[in-house]
Every structure is written in structure tokens, then in C-alpha cells.
């Protein structure tokens, strides 16, 4: 095993990222790179990132007021205000590009060209630059110019048609988040490739691509099986019993992904495994409503906590449905360092959801030990102007 100590600044320490994105998909990608130790300079227009106004809730007053939405996607960044329609500010950005490793943008197709910052120009300024671009529906094709908003993409990408009982959006902007994650890993791969080739390249993705890319078995249900997936509410479309069931006082979740687990559950609940409706997984899926009724008739006799204890003792996967506040109070969440604290210049100590990654035995969230708070608008403008002056 390599005994070399991990860099407390993160594996992307020394990488400079220019983040020209706003809202969520692009900012989430930039934040992921920042979590890994990259220096991220967020370039905002005079009015700031749109998400600064997405609330309530807000914290602070007047000039220091920030939305908690903005805070969710902008830790580990510096904020610089530039008006790219002004020649001086555009020239400053070009100087920054010459020294940058990555530039992220999520403008509509054609906007960067109109600003004089098209792909060819950026690579003239810096042949080693990795350019990351995220759009709503893709940079080309018949609908390339459509604006991209998460819920629209969830619907157009088919996700809402298989969620809930009637068309339902996922409770977080999942199309944005998936696009951001895809962009971050694509950019990281391009940085690795650059070590071999010496040149950067352009990485593109979209909200649509993010949604279609996680269709998983629902996609092959159609492309291979010829079956159009339908919503199955809080139950798995291809496995039963696997879903949400009502006990006497609260719902609980049970997941029997094979016949052994089904027999254990049936034995606990006193259900007949020889019943032809429930003999195989395919039978149970076909008779899901009957199976759900049979399970809930028994679960209704005791509390969810009592059933969860018995299921755990048998080794049957099961769990409760936690509220967000309960998740953050849960000792298991805290043991995984999924919360982090930052010191904000205007709001003091803030607790934020942390990075999902841990490295080696490091007892902190993400790739870096010390995290920066979400910046105030233009907080670092003067310092960055001085750093990149002629």
C-alpha cells in the first residue's frame, strides 16, 4: 500500500477552473471540482447568479443576503463580477483563460460565440484548456436552442412518466444534478487525457442526456423488451415485494430482491409461499396489488419500529422514510462526514451538506480538508483583478 500522505488540499490542487455557469447544473459541476481541491473562480454578471434570488429561505440582510439554494451549489468558490459586454472585463477574462485549466459554461448554444469566446477562440488563447459545456437538450440537433430547465427536462426525458402514480417530478432538480455530475467526471477525464496529449478538449453534456443516461432497466425495458414502462408509485417496476408498505403507525420499506429474502419475509408474516400468485418474482410482479394487500394486512397489526427490528434480525433489507431534518440528525449520516462546517464572512458558522466522497482514511468530506463558504457576490473581484492585471 502506498504510504504517501494524501494532499490535504485535494487531488485537484493546482487546477484553476473558471466557472461561467449559473443556476444549478454547471455550478454543481464546478463545486464538485472545487470539493476535489481545484481553485474555482465563479464569474458572475453584475446581477449575480440567478439562484442567489431563489428563495425563501434566505439568510442575512441587504447586500449580504443569500438564498440557501445558492449555498447548496457554490461552496469552495471565489466570486468575481464581470460584465462581458465591456471590453475591459472581456479582456480580463481572456487573461484568466490563458492561465486556466478548465472553463465551464452553460449558455444557450451560440451565446459564447456572440461574446467572442467560442470554442476556437478559447483554444487559441489556451490550447491546454478543457472546456466543459452543459445545455438543456444538447448543443446540436433540431432542438438545440431550447432553454433548459430541470422540470422540463424531467418531463421531456421520460423520467416523470415513470415516477409516482401520475406524472411526478423528482423532489430535487435531478436533471440539473445529473448533468453537473456528468460534466464534472467528463472534465476530470479530459484533464487526465491532457497529461498524455498536452492539449485540452471540449466536453459536452445536457440535462436531457443526464436523464436518458439513468433510464437503466427502464430504458432496456423498451429498447430490448418492447415494453413501455409505466409508473409503479412507491414500488419497484421489476421486483416484488420491493417498495413502501403501511404498518400500524407509519410506512416502512422492504426490498426482497430474490426468492430467499421473499421466503424469509413470508415466514415472518405468515404468508403462503406456495400461493401460485406469489411463487416466482414474475408472478409477484404480475400480482403486485394482491401481494401488497396481503403484506399490509399483517403489517397493520404492529408498529413500523417493531417490524423493522424483526426484519433486521432476519436479514431482510428494510428501512424507514426519514424527513430531511431526521437524515441530518442521524448518527449514520454524521459518521460518514456528509455534513461540513464553513465560516462565512457575513453569516458566521454554516453547516452544509458535504461531498459524497471520502479519500483513504481522511476524516473529512470531499478531497480537501478545508472548505470555503459560498461567496458573497463579487467578494473576490478586487483580488482577482489585481492577480490577473496586465
Rounded (10°) angle between helices 259-269 and 304-314: 130
Q: How far apart are CA 229 and CA 370, in angstroms?
A: 45
Locate 46 and state its grid cell.
453584475
Q: How far apart are CA 23 and CA 233, in angstroms?
A: 30
Q: How far apart are CA 349 and CA 59, in angstroms?
A: 12
Q: Which long-range contacts (CB under 8 A, 24 or more apart) does 279-287 make?
A: 281/239, 281/240, 284/240, 284/241, 285/238, 285/239, 285/240
Q: How far apart are CA 235 and CA 286, in angstroms?
A: 13
Chain Cα centroid distance, residue 308: 30
To which H or E segment does residue 168 belong? none
What is the layout of strands, in order, in the sheet containing 130-135?
78-81, 39-44, 16-19, 102-105, 130-135, 202-206
Contacts of 73 (CB under 8 A, 6+ apart): 24, 27, 28, 31, 51, 180
Q: How far apart are CA 92 and CA 63, in angstroms?
A: 25
Catalytic residue among 236, 337, 347, 380: 236
The string of DSSP letters for 109-129 reads TTHHHHTT--HHHHHHH-TTP
Specify whether the CB–CB gap between 84 and 90 falls below 8 A: yes
Q: How far apart are CA 240 and CA 243, in angstroms?
A: 8
The residue to which cell 420499506 is assigned: 253
The verdict on whether 337 is a catalytic residue reads: no
The SS3 assignment for 217 reads helix
Q: How far apart are CA 336 and CA 345, in angstroms?
A: 27
Q: How far apart are CA 354 and CA 24, in angstroms?
A: 16
Which positions are catalytic? 236
Amino acid at each position: 500500500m502506498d504510504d504517501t500522505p494524501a494532499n490535504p488540499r485535494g487531488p485537484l490542487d493546482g487546477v484553476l477552473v473558471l466557472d461561467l455557469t449559473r443556476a444549478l447544473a454547471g455550478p454543481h459541476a464546478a463545486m464538485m471540482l472545487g470539493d476535489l481541491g481545484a481553485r474555482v473562480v465563479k464569474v458572475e454578471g453584475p446581477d449575480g447568479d440567478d439562484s442567489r434570488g431563489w428563495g425563501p429561505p434566505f439568510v442575512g440582510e441587504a447586500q449580504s443576503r443569500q438564498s440557501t439554494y445558492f449555498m447548496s451549489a457554490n461552496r469552495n468558490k471565489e466570486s468575481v463580477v464581470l460584465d462581458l459586454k465591456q471590453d475591459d472585463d472581456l479582456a480580463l477574462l481572456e487573461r484568466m483563460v490563458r492561465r486556466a485549466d478548465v472553463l465551464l459554461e452553460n449558455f444557450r448554444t451560440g451565446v459564447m460565440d456572440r461574446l467572442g469566446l467560442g470554442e476556437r477562440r478559447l483554444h487559441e488563447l489556451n490550447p491546454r484548456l478543457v472546456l466543459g459545456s452543459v445545455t438543456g437538450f444538447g448543443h446540436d440537433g433540431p432542438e438545440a436552442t431550447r432553454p433548459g430547465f430541470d422540470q422540463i427536462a424531467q418531463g421531456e426525458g421520460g423520467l416523470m412518466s415513470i415516477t409516482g402514480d401520475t406524472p411526478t417530478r423528482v423532489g430535487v432538480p435531478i436533471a440539473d444534478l445529473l448533468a453537473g455530475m456528468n460534466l464534472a467526471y467528463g472534465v476530470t477525464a479530459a484533464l487526465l487525457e491532457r497529461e498524455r496529449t498536452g492539449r485540452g478538449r471540449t466536453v459536452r453534456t445536457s440535462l436531457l442526456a443526464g436523464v436518458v443516461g439513468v433510464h437503466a432497466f427502464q430504458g432496456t425495458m423498451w429498447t430490448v423488451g418492447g415494453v413501455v414502462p409505466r409508473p409503479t408509485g412507491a414500488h419497484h417496476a421489476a421486483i416484488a415485494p420491493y417498495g413502501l408498505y403501511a404498518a400500524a403507525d407509519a410506512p416502512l420499506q422492504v426490498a426482497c430482491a430474490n426468492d430467499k429474502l421473499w421466503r424469509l419475509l413470508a415466514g415472518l408474516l405468515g404468508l403462503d409461499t406456495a400461493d401460485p400468485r406469489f411463487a416466482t418474482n414474475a408472478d409477484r410482479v404480475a400480482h403486485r396489488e394482491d401481494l401488497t394487500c396481503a403484506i399490509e394486512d399483517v403489517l397493520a397489526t404492529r408498529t413500523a419500529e417493531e417490524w423493522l427490528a424483526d426484519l433486521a434480525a432476519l436479514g431482510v433489507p428494510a428501512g424507514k422514510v426519514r424527513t430531511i431534518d431526521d437524515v441530518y440528525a442521524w448518527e449514520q449520516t454524521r459518521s460518514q462526514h456528509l455534513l461540513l462546517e464553513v465560516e462565512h464572512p457575513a453569516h458566521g458558522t454554516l453547516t452544509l451538506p458535504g461531498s459524497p466522497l471520502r479519500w483513504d482514511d481522511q476524516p473529512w468530506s470531499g478531497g480537501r480538508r478545508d472548505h470555503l463558504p459560498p461567496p458573497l457576490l463579487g467578494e473576490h473581484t478586487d483580488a482577482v483583478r489585481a492577480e490577473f492585471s496586465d
